[in-house]
């Protein structure tokens, strides 16, 4: 079981810097997902930059979110701060 997201920072070029409950940080590239209809609205940079954490995952609207499993397993580990 992957840990919950506890913080997210949206970055330029559709990158997400995520902090997990186990203390790890990961960098996730959302660009490949923008081709999928569920994530297509996030191509609007202003909407993408509204990313926030709700109930352990990253959300943008009531209809757009991304699994903490995806963020953790497909994100690149970042060194501890």
- Residues linked to residue 8 through DSSP beta bridges, in sequence order: 18
Q: Note whether residue 28 is domain-resident.
A: yes
> What number is the average pLDDT over the span 22-36?
97
Q: Note whether residue 79 is domain-resident.
A: no
Phi, psi for residue 65 in degrees, rounded to 5: -150, 170
> What number is the average pLDDT over the span 36-52?
98
Range of the domain at 26: 5-63
Q: What pTM does this model have?
A: 0.94
**Number of domains making up the chain:** 1
CATH number, domain containing residue 13: 3.30.2020.10
Residue 69: what pLDDT? 97
């Amino acid at each position: 079981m992957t840990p919950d997201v506890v913080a997210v920072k949206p970055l330029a070029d559709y990158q997400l810097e995520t902090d997990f409950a186990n203390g790890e940080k990961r960098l996730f590239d959302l660009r490949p997902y923008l081709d999928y209809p569920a994530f297509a609205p996030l191509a609007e940079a202003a909407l993408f930059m509204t990313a926030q954490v709700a109930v352990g995952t990253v959300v943008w609207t009531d209809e757009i979110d991304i699994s903490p499993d995806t963020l953790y397993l497909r994100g690149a580990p970042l060194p501890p701060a």
